[in-house]
Amino acid sequence: MTYALDIEGLTKNYSDGFQALKGIDLHVREGDFFALLGPNGAGKSTTLGIVSSLVNKSGGKVRVFGHDIDTDLSSAKLSLGVVPQEFNFNQFEKVEDIVTTQAGYYGIPLKTARVSAEKYLKKLGLWDKRNTPARMLSGGMKRRLMIARALVHEPRLLILDEPTAGVDIELRRSMWQFLEEMNRQGTTIILTTHYLEEAEALCRNIAIIDHGEIIRHTSKRELLQQLSVETFVLDTEQPLEKAPELTAFKASLDDDGALEVEVAKGQGLNALFIELENLGIRVLSMRTKANRLEELFVRMVEENAREAEKASEVTA
């Protein structure tokens, strides 16, 4: 099977001896919407940097739609669009020039490049700013400019490193819609994000990387099924002075006095509401405390850290 991105045994050792990647394997199917998650310094950006030729690998294999970056780098790059974490365009260039120049690097003649640039700048709400120097754009506009630039050569695989960092909620939602539309049209998308609700909302498959190792590589559904307890926050009609004693659920009050209830997998919410009703507590609204993926992510990273600590104790 040909993967959009196929990574085998990828390693990265820096000259100071730091091993950023310890032989990771990663397989992303064509058409997938894939999230690569991990804490800061886990190796996400290094991995994506190697795939996009910004970082030299120390070992292992990387193939983009079957094109090995060691032997067929040009074809691999033609299939790839990259949206980096940091702004990396000439701040003094005009918006349209930045996009058409990028198209030129892919061998697209200016006339065709202008058509493609217009299409994506319009889709991303930047067409009115096409003659504006990039430094005059807001942070959100700069992020969208980098997406337009990455798409101008119509790549089959789009890599986004923290695409919505520092973007307000409204804009983030509109970027999600845009990316979902791109994915529906056949573009494979890989993103890293700190907003785990983003990964939960958009992605079908997820890998979690920590300390240069992939600690989980599975579908979102399978991952979420592992969540055994979910915490709900309930706003009650009358403020509670202390958490009620519930028979089947563990309850507590948060700092704002809202009622938090842990609901185990398989437990029905009806039973909870019946108990609360019997205690005379009326619930006005309810929400999950944190998004589910976030709970899992935190737990997995913590478990991984504990295991690493144990391993180091044994070795010591």
Nearer to other proteins, 87 or 249 (CB): 87
Q: Quick one: which of 161, 151, 158, 129 has its CA closest to 32?
A: 158
To the nearest whole angstrom, how small is the minimum distance from the Cβ of residue 107 to other proteins? Answer: 2
Residues 6+ apart with CB under 8 A from 93: 101, 133, 134
To the nearest whole angstrom, how small is the minimum distance from the Cβ of residue 237 to other proteins? Answer: 54
Nearer to other proteins, 109 or 257 (CB): 109
Say if strands 188-192 and 33-37 run parallel, antiparallel, or are unpaired. parallel
Nearer to other proteins, 100 or 304 (CB): 100
Nearer to other proteins, 107 or 186 (CB): 107
To the nearest whole angstrom, how small is the minimum distance from the Cβ of residue 43 to other proteins? Answer: 13
To the nearest whole angstrom, how small is the minimum distance from the Cβ of residue 14 to other proteins? Answer: 7
Nearer to other proteins, 54 or 264 (CB): 54
| 186 φψ region: left (φ > 0), alpha (ψ -120 to 50), beta (else) | left
Place of tokens 């990828």: 10
To the nearest whole angstrom, how small is the minimum distance from the Cβ of residue 115 to other proteins? Answer: 15
To the nearest whole angstrom, how small is the minimum distance from the Cβ of residue 58 to other proteins? Answer: 11
Nearer to other proteins, 27 or 94 (CB): 94
To the nearest whole angstrom, how small is the minimum distance from the Cβ of residue 223 to other proteins? Answer: 30
To the nearest whole angstrom, how small is the minimum distance from the Cβ of residue 306 to other proteins? Answer: 30
Nearer to other proteins, 55 or 224 (CB): 55
Nearer to other proteins, 109 or 239 (CB): 109
Residues that bind other proteins (CB under 8 A): 14, 49, 52-56, 73-75, 77-78, 80, 82, 84, 86-92, 97, 101-102, 104-109, 149
The DSSP-derived string for the chain is: ---SEEEEEEEEE-TTS-EEEEEEEEEE-TT-EEEEE--TTSSHHHHHHHHTTSS--SEEEEEETTEETTT-HHHHHHTEEEE-SS--S-TTSBHHHHHHHHHHHTT--HHHHHHHHHHHHHHTT-GGGTTSBGGGS-HHHHHHHHHHHHHTT--SEEEEESTTTT--HHHHHHHHHHHHHHHHTT-EEEEE-S-HHHHHHH-SEEEEEETTEEEEEEEHHHHHHT--EEEEEEEESS--SS----SSSEEEE-TTS-EEEEEETT--HHHHHHHHHHTTPPEEEEEESS-HHHHHHHHHHHHHHHHHHHHHHHH-
Nearer to other proteins, 49 or 212 (CB): 49
Residues 6+ apart with CB under 8 A from 283: 234, 235, 236, 237, 273, 276
To the nearest whole angstrom, how small is the minimum distance from the Cβ of residue 209 to other proteins? Answer: 17
